[in-house]
Amino acid sequence: MKDLLRLRTSLTEEIEALLNEQIKVEAYSSSIYLAMSSWCDRNGYDNSAGYLEKQSGEEREHMLKLFRYVNDLGGSAVSPEVTNIPQEFDSFKGVFEMALQQEIQVTSNFNRIADRCQKANDYVTFQFLQWFLKEQVEEEYVARRILELFDVIGEEGAGRWEIDKHIPKVSFGNAGE
């Protein structure tokens, strides 16, 4: 008797569902970054708007990477429905606090999926996830560094203008330089 389920895909139903959930999380991240970009733009933070728009594109790329992987392995990648994107934010700093929270949530999700992959002996997907886990180190680092600018520079006077100017320059590659 043929194993038709295995012939269809090497992904288990559980892992496929988890990856589809993550596709949705990445799509949500992409949309929320875009909303943040718009808020920054209309509040005069041009550099941050550009940075957040770029981040939005990166999150979409992450989503597509997961999307293609699920389909490549014979699974069914689901185009996600993204709703409830906040359009207004409390403050300039609040935008980046939310960005960090979002990145922490994403890291936690990837850890959970990696854990499930190990338990399900799906080392192919586990290996695939390594790229994302490494990427999350960078994402969280950058988000934290940006938030620290608010303390280092201070928001008073021209502080926010200065912070906005520095935000696009923060990168993981510059660490220790």
Partner 1 sequence: MQAKINTHLIEIFKTECGSVYQCDQTNHFILEYAGRVTAFKPINFIDFTKRVFAINLHDMASNTARHADIAILMPLYTETCFLLTMIDTIRLQRILGGAKTILHLHTLLRTNQLQFA
User: Which chain residues interact with partner 1 by CB under 8 A?
Assistant: 1-9, 13, 76
* Cβ atoms of residues 150 and 124 within 8 Å: no
> Does 26 show up as a binding residue in the annotation?
yes
Q: How far is the CB of 9 from partner 1 (least distance, A)?
A: 8
Q: Measured from the CB atom, is 59 or 122 closer to partner 1? A: 122
Q: How far is the CB of 120 from partner 1 (least distance, A)?
A: 11
Q: Measured from the CB atom, is 76 or 79 closer to partner 1? A: 76
> Does 156 show up as a binding residue in the annotation?
no
* Cβ atoms of residues 164 and 45 within 8 Å: yes
Q: Measured from the CB atom, is 10 or 107 closer to partner 1? A: 10
Burial class (CB in 10 A: 0-12, 13-18, 19+), 84: exposed
Q: How far is the CB of 8 from partner 1 (least distance, A)?
A: 4
DSSP string, 32-98: HHHHHHHHHHHTT-HHHHHHHHHHHHHHHHHHHHHHHHHHHTT----PPP--------S-HHHHHHH
Judged by DSSP in three states, 170 sits in: coil
Q: How far is the CB of 81 from partner 1 (least distance, A)?
A: 16
Q: Is the dihedral of CA 27, 28, 29, 35 positive or negative?
A: positive
Structure tokens at 11: 């992904």
Q: How far is the CB of 124 from partner 1 (least distance, A)?
A: 13
> Does 139 show up as a binding residue in the annotation?
no
Tell me the C-alpha distance between 45 and 165, whole Å: 8
Q: Measured from the CB atom, is 6 or 112 closer to partner 1? A: 6
Q: Measured from the CB atom, is 11 or 32 closer to partner 1? A: 11
Binding residues for Fe cation: 26, 59, 62, 103, 136
Binding residues: 26, 59, 62, 103, 136
